[in-house]
Structure 1
């Protein structure tokens, strides 16, 4: 029985889809960047308009400043569960606002 010899990145069935996906990504990169920019703009607006001041503060500390939940709780004098619930509600509210932008 003879075995197939591997000659390049697109010679086997398993790697064909990777090459096709790479080509598609290159062709559609501009489309993705426009969608991402629109999503970022909508996210900024939703954070300003839809979140409560406390939710904005916690989202800023968690996502923008990279703090974790115990650090935020300690800095603000809150329970960790309060911080976690507030972040969860803020993310749900943002998702409801942005789900059609995705």
Structure 2
């Protein structure tokens, strides 16, 4: 049985794997740019004004659901449901545009 714990090598292995993937992986910058462009379009065209507002507060300004609820005078569950519906609308839109 080995006297060295398995975990001591795992961080080195992860580093080696990261270098390998970086060197052999494909460049996905074109796909990422298309995704960003479609996401901006989806936020403008597919979401309601309230959904856009909550997404901006949550993701762009990094406010929690509780903080958004306090700021807008809503119940946190309302904010959570609205964010969930917005994410689902964005998923559906992006699924068909990619």
Equivalent residue for 2:84, pick from 78, 81, 88: 88
How far off its partner does 1:23 sit? 4.3
Equivalent residue for 1:45, pick from 41, 45, 55: 41
Unaligned runs of 5+ in 2: 1-12
Counterpart of 1:54 in structure 2 is 50
Cα RMSD (Å) of the superposition? 2.3
> What TM-score, normalized to structure 1?
0.72
> What TM-score, normalized to structure 2?
0.75
Unaligned runs of 5+ in 1: 1-14
The number of equivalent residue pairs is 86
How far off its partner does 1:26 sit? 3.1
Larger radius of gyration: 1
